[in-house]
Amino acid sequence: MTWQPELDELKRRQQFAAKLGGERGVAEQRRRGKLTVRERIDALVDPGSFREFQGLVGTATYDERTSELTDFVPKGAVNGYGAIDGRRVVINAGDFTVRGGSGSADGSGGLGAEARPSERALEARMPYIRLLDSAGGSVRGFEELGRTYLPDGNSYTYLDVELLRAVPVVSAALGSVAGLPAVDVCIAHFSVMVDGISQVFPGGPPVVKAALGYDITKEDLGGPQIHTKQSGVVDNLASDEADAFAQIRRFLSYLPSNVWEMAPYEEPEDDPDRREESLLSLVPRDTRRPYDAHEAIEAVVDRGSFFEIAPDYARNRITGLARVNGYPVGVMANNKQFMGGTTDVKGGDKVIRFIQLCDTFNLPLISFADEPGFRVGLDMEQAGIERAGARLVIATVESRMPWLTIVMGQLYGVAGQCQHRSTGMFRRYVWPSARWGSMHIEGGVSAAYSREIREAEDPAAKEAEIEARMQAMASPFRTAEVTGQDIIDPRDTRPLAVEFVEDAQAVLRTQLGPNPTPYKP
């Protein structure tokens, strides 16, 4: 006697589950231009590496007379282990073909329930990936339960919060994502949405209509033009689902599997002593002329290794991951092409999240600084620029990872202060084009010498005379005479960055484990 009948039953149930939400649900998914949940997983992970768990959870229908299974609708998600570039990950993928991906029948909360995907990722110290395609909770769930319920999702969301301190967490919005899944988009270290098929909101157009009385499309309410450019809710935009999966794989390639491990090293193909002539003339003498800080980044990091994060949001600040002589690093820069590179509230928030990312996963940070200061004006006062500035100061001070600042141009005020750290491993090099101070000389002279200028026979000539005198004192060489500041040939930036990153490895090994400052998206 064998257990073959039971194995046959197992196979039958697995075949039911493989049908997802049925032919109509799958057809609707394709009509919307979206892959099915299992196609997505196959496209993301290494071939043959996915092993599903909790695959038998769902709603079964039995023959009343024989008690035999007649139908089975799986839960609105597919969970399992997989591998990306050989490294194990945990995947939680929503299935919109089953009740819009609603979590009402996900098998959670029952007596003796197996561990959730988030719990497994935390226990095994594996990266956690959410492929979100879910409308969130549904009133249909009330009918199934025969009652309503108190919102108590934090009884398991706390695991998602703990994950942020332990392993890389990625969220991909691959359809209309509403309710709690919309919040899950943000409870991550990196997020991406897909052009043409993705929207994110707490409540969709019907909810907006009921609450506020106006009609709006899903795209206008929560499309990529809102969340990757204006709100900053989502980091990156992908052209299609394949691009989204490629971005996820690339993001994870710079990070360790968990905070107890060093970031993955790759044998470099770039010359560590490479000196780029273009850096000698990159920064214009006229501070009002913009230049592209991406050119400085590309000239210093390993060729082709820079992966930008949130490129369309707060474009006055550049953030991303790269490699320097094979070692993963975080990179940020002031972008003079947008708002002169000043730091506003959105730019400050973007930088804070990025500093936290580098600090959580022990990545050395290289900052290409040309900081005119915090953005001024009535709109910034209304947005609370002082509180945003205080938060940036605190994030800088609390960080621990090795930090290198390259001062290419201006460095003024409290925003300039946020390019320095007095604790831990910190290095700073300046180019001859650098200028700094508590405030700009151009604006400061008229305020500090207002009476002398006002009483002069030629106020304009007097102001110009004072400015010229002050500008002579602004030479970086005068600062170096007193402070020992290292002024370098810009072409030496890459060799010095390589030296910094190599020296940083010994420090990073002492900082492995959960960061004392929790990551907060």
Residue 141: per-residue pLDDT: 61
How remote is the C-alpha of 302 from its chain's centroid?
21
pLDDT in tens, 104-140: 545 455 667 888 999 999 999 999 999 999 876 665 6
Q: Give the DSSP H or E segment for 330.
A: strand 327-334
Instruction: Quote the percentage of the chain above a pLDDT of 90.
Output: 68
Q: Which 8-state DSSP code applies to residue 500?
A: H
The residues facing 343 across adjacent strands are 374
Q: Give the right CATH number for 277-431+488-509 from 3.30.70.3270, 3.40.50.800, 3.40.30.10, 3.90.226.10.
A: 3.90.226.10
Is residue 39 predicted with pLDDT exceeding 70?
yes
Could you give the CA distance from residue 261 to residue 512 in angstroms, rounded to a whole number? 7
What does 257-273 look like in DSSP terms, one character per residue?
SSTTSPPPP----S-TT
pLDDT in tens, 65-117: 888 888 778 888 999 999 999 999 999 999 888 876 665 545 455 667 888 99
Residue 37: per-residue pLDDT: 93
User: Mean per-residue pLDDT for 187-205?
Assistant: 95
Tokens of 372: 């005119």
Residue 244: per-residue pLDDT: 98
User: How would CATH label the architecture of 4-253?
Assistant: Alpha-Beta Complex (3.90)
Counting runs of H as helices and runs of E as strands, what totals does the chain give?
21, 19
- Alpha-carbon torsion angle 106, 252, 364, 305, nearest 10: -150
pLDDT in tens, 381-401: 999 999 999 999 999 999 999
Domains 4-253 and 277-431+488-509 alike in fold: yes
pTM: 0.91
How remote is the C-alpha of 391 from its chain's centroid?
18
pLDDT in tens, 308-356: 999 999 999 999 999 999 999 999 999 999 999 999 999 999 999 999 9
Average of per-residue pLDDT values in the chain: 90
Residue 99 gets the label, from left (phi > 0), alpha (psi -120 to 50) or beta, of: left
Residue 145: per-residue pLDDT: 64
Is residue 142 predicted with pLDDT exceeding 80?
no
Cβ(123)–Cβ(164) under 8 Å? Answer: no
The residues, ordered by sequence, that sit 6+ positions from 140 with a Cβ below 8 Å of its Cβ are: 99, 102, 104
Residue 57: per-residue pLDDT: 87
pLDDT in tens, 347-393: 999 999 999 999 999 999 999 999 999 999 999 999 999 999 999 99
How remote is the C-alpha of 458 from its chain's centroid?
54
Residue 47: per-residue pLDDT: 97
| Residue 143 CB burial class (10 angstroms; 0-12, 13-18, ≥19) | exposed
Could you give the CA distance from residue 381 to residue 346 in angstroms, rounded to a whole number? 13
Q: Give the DSSP H or E segment for 62.
A: strand 58-62
Residue 114: per-residue pLDDT: 86
Written as one letter, the residue type at 24 is: R
Tokens of 191: 């997020």
What residue spans define the domains of the chain?
Answer: 4-253, 277-431+488-509
